[in-house]
Amino acid sequence: MTSSPLFVGVDIGTSGIRAAAVGPDGTVLGLGRARIGADDHIRRDPAMWERALHACFRDLEQTVDVSAIAGICVDGTSGTVLALDGKGQPNGHALMYNDAVEDQRIPSEIASVAPSQSAAHGASSALARAIELQDRPGVARIVHQADWIAEQLAGTPVPSDESNALKTGYDPVSRTWPDWLGETSIRRDLLPEVVPTGTVTARTGGTFGLPAGIPIVAGMSDGCASFLATGAKRPGDGVTVLGTTLTLKLLCDGPLFAPEYGIYSHRIGDLWLAGGASNSGGAALLAHFDLDQMANLTARIDPETPCELDYYPLPRPGERFPINDPKLSPRVTPRPEDDAAFFKGLLTGIAGIEKLGYQRLVELGAPALTSVRTVGGGADNPAWTRIRLKLIDVPAEPVFSKEAAVGSALVAREALS
């Protein structure tokens, strides 16, 4: 068990909480875990978040000395908000990142005044949820999930951060709550103060078995924390997520907003994280083969030979990035008789979408891609990796960690070292 200074990141996920401890050199020294629960009702209950946080720190204590913690940073699910009463207690359950408001007048009023590049548009934006929450009796404040967890650690209200506030309408360019919010029905006085990621906002109050006085650092959304956990940290560093969908994220030295492609930028200090998500990805592969079939076919693929098939694999019609066409049909013909050749064509097609996606980000103002790190289930396919790297033609960098909590821990380390 180490006694050197530790920096802890806390990641509040959909069904669980993780806490990672890193040393002064960034080495991961400990990881604590605790489940929140799988039921949607439980996931929305802040009391269950608090209970899981207790359990998570108890688990972390098994591997590290919590008295050595020199800083803590929290990330939460992007767009999850909750209402608090005058005593700082939750006023009902939270509205999660994927909850949509039923009253369509709310997104309509936002659309009528919000700039097109704002991330506050839509029935499932955090601003829409905040407007719905404010009508609960006795609401005194509205906070983001990460804010509330930090507040429990401190025992006092804390500011929010520029990443979590983005979908609530915060303007990360001017670093203000914009004037147009006054033209919506949101009560501006309910919204939190916002500070840059990495700002020391408070100190621990001696709860959760932790010493009092540990600096608490403003965090970010879980997606941003996951990006930083990979080790990406310079403009031009990209991260490809090969999951059910294909998601690209690129670190930039300036903001990039292209709502027509679903692209907006999170501000992380003085850098910006821009990204886009294609409907292609693992779901497009599963439309043709199951996981066992794909594993067997991968062994028969030669990634070094050219592929003449020109595919654009999609699980169903419709694409948003890098092509914005809600009616775009999957292109997966002609189909060779050999399933291995067909599978190689699908992998090559998705790799082509990845290449086009990074090109699209650059065309819209992002810096050129200089390196790529890959996470998600598809990252484990060696043939696909080789096909992709040949197409995008940049170095592949190793992934430092896949744990979002590590990304938050690294933010605390950077802020306090």
What would the pLDDT profile of 277-327 be if each residue is shown by its tens digit?
A: 999 999 999 999 999 999 999 999 999 999 999 999 999 999 999 999 999
Q: Is 363 contained in some domain?
A: yes
Average pLDDT, stretch 221-247?
96
* Average pLDDT across the chain, whole number: 96
Which CB contacts under 8 angstroms, 24+ apart, belong to 306-309? Answer: 307/344, 307/345, 307/348, 307/387, 309/334, 309/336, 309/341, 309/342, 309/344, 309/345, 309/348, 309/349
Residue 85: pLDDT band (50, 70, 90) is very high
Q: Are residues 160 and 278 in the same domain?
A: no
In a domain, 399, yes or no: no
pLDDT band (50, 70, 90) for residue 1: low
Q: Report the DSSP beta bridge partners of residue 7.
A: 22, 71
pLDDT at 15: 87
pLDDT at 38: 78
Please indicate, yes or no, if residue 255 is contained in any of the structural domains.
Answer: yes
What angle is formed at CA 229 by the lines to CA 142 and CA 322, rounded to 5 degrees? 80
Indicate whether 384 belongs to any domain.
Answer: yes
Q: What is the mean pLDDT of residues 14-36?
A: 96
Per the structure, the count of domains in the chain is 2
Residue 266 lies in a domain: yes
Indicate the pLDDT class of residue 199, thresholds 50, 70 and 90: very high
Query: pTM, whole model, 2 decimals?
Result: 0.94
| Claim to verify: residue 197 and residue 254 sit in the same structural domain | no
Predicted pLDDT at 39 = 84
* Token couple for 282: 């693992």
The three-state secondary structure class of 359 is: helix
Q: Tokens for 21?
A: 């401890």
Has residue 2 got a pLDDT over 80?
A: no
Q: 75 with 203, same domain? A: yes
- Predicted pLDDT at 14: 87
Domain coverage including residue 48: 6-224+404-416
User: Tell me: the pLDDT tens digits for 30-84?
Assistant: 999 999 987 888 999 999 999 999 999 999 999 999 999 999 999 999 999 999 9
Residues 30 and 80 in one domain: yes
Q: Are residues 116 and 215 in the same domain?
A: yes
Q: Answer yes or no: is 1 within a domain.
A: no
- Please indicate, yes or no, whether residues 110 and 141 belong to a single structural domain of this protein: yes
Regarding whether 252 and 203 lie in a shared domain, the answer is no
Looking at the structure, tell me whether residues 213 and 288 fall in a common domain.
no
pLDDT at 324: 93
Q: Does a structural domain hold residue 397?
A: no
Query: Domain holding 166: CATH number?
Result: 3.30.420.40
> Same domain, yes or no, for 254 and 220?
no
Q: Of 2-11, 77-86, 167-176, where does mean pLDDT reach its minimum?
A: 2-11
pLDDT at 35: 95
**Residues 275 and 236 reside in one and the same domain:** yes
Whether residue 121 lies inside any domain: the answer is yes
124-154 pLDDT per residue, tens: 999 999 999 999 999 999 999 999 999 999 9
Do 69 and 92 lie in one domain? The reply is yes
Residue 403 pLDDT > 60: yes
Average pLDDT over residues 209-215: 97
Which residue type is seen at 93? H
243, pLDDT greater than 80: yes
**Residues 33 and 20 sit within 8 Å (Cβ to Cβ):** no
Who contacts 396 (Cβ-Cβ below 8 Å, separation ≥6)? 371, 372, 373, 374, 385, 389
The verdict on 98 and 208 lying in the same domain is yes
Task: Please list, in sequence order, all residues whose beta carbon lies within 8 angstroms of the beta carbon of residue 375, skipping any fewer than 6 positions away.
Answer: 226, 230, 239, 240, 241, 242, 399, 402
